[in-house]
């Protein structure tokens, strides 16, 4: 039976919702694609028409939340931020949208956004990473930082960023305030490095 594009979009949205609920309730590892299909009243095979596997599904959820966060960043930007502040705004806006998924996000990020990506790259993760880095590059360019080669700056940034994500996932402090301090510190460090001023005054 062929279904309309609209119905397909709706199904996709519903699967994401159900999966998010199950991941939060049961944990990522304990949730199977069969569980998700069951909760949808859908054959497991049908679900594979939408998502290749559980990892892709989870990463899609995460990537969409991050995308919403990046939209929030663009909206919240005042134009008065310096480099460290603007990057802080980007990351904190993303994290706020990721918050509902904090409970299961660790393994997802590990498999999809790692510094050592698997051979079979997760396309949702790759896309999300690419979009995030486009914004970072636009920010550094606009702020006039060009003394460090772009590839090096990007790699440096990405390792800091993954470190922040990994820390945030395990951060039990009130309102994850330890992460806020960590982002602040990391980005000051990054901005000092880019400006060629890594020594303390």
Two tokens at 161?
Answer: 């960023």
Residues 137-176 touching other proteins, rule: CB under 8 A, are 173-175
d(CA 147, CA 54): 42
Question: CB of 9: closest distance to other proteins in angstroms?
Answer: 31
Nearer to other proteins, 80 or 119 (CB): 80
Nearer to other proteins, 12 or 96 (CB): 96
Question: CB of 24: closest distance to other proteins in angstroms?
Answer: 21
Q: Long-range pairs for 118-124 at CB < 8 Å and ≥24 separation?
A: 122/55, 122/56, 122/59, 123/56, 124/56, 124/59, 124/60, 124/62, 124/63
Round to the nearest angstrom and report the end-to-end CA distance of the chain. Answer: 69
Residues 51-90 touching other proteins, rule: CB under 8 A, are 76, 78, 80-82, 84-86, 88-89
Nearest to 169 by CA among 95, 113, 92: 95
In 81-149, which residue ranges form alpha helices assigned H by DSSP?
Answer: 83-98, 105-112, 123-142
d(CA 179, CA 60): 24
Question: CB of 191: closest distance to other proteins in angstroms?
Answer: 11
The answer to whether 181 contacts other proteins (rule: CB under 8 A) is yes
The answer to whether 201 contacts other proteins (rule: CB under 8 A) is yes
The answer to whether 200 contacts other proteins (rule: CB under 8 A) is yes
By CB under 8 A, name the one of 24, 52, 67, 96 that touches other proteins. Answer: 96
Two tokens at 80?
Answer: 């008065």
Nearer to other proteins, 93 or 122 (CB): 93
Which residues contact other proteins by CB under 8 A? 76, 78, 80-82, 84-86, 88-89, 92, 96, 173-175, 177-178, 180-182, 184-185, 188-189, 200-201
């Amino acid at each position: 039976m062929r279904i309309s594009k609209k119905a397909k979009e709706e199904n996709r949205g519903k699967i994401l919702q159900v999966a998010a609920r199950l991941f939060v309730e049961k944990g990522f590892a304990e949730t199977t694609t069969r569980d998700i299909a069951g909760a949808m009243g859908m054959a497991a095979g049908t679900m594979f028409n939408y998502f290749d596997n559980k990892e892709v599904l989870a990463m899609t959820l995460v990537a969409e939340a991050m995308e919403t966060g990046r939209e929030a960043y663009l909206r919240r930007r005042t134009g008065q931020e310096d480099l460290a502040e603007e990057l802080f705004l980007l990351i904190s806006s993303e994290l706020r949208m990721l918050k509902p998924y904090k409970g299961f996000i660790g393994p997802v990020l590990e498999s999809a956004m790692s510094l050592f990506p698997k051979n079979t790259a997760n396309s949702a993760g790759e896309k999300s990473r690419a979009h995030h880095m486009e914004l970072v590059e636009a920010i550094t360019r606009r702020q006039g930082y060009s003394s460090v080669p772009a590839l090096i700056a990007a790699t440096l940034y990405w390792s800091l960023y993954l470190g922040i994500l990994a820390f945030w996932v395990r951060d039990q402090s009130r309102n994850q305030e330890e992460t806020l301090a960590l982002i602040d510190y990391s980005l000051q460090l990054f901005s000092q490095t880019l400006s060629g001023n890594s020594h303390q005054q």
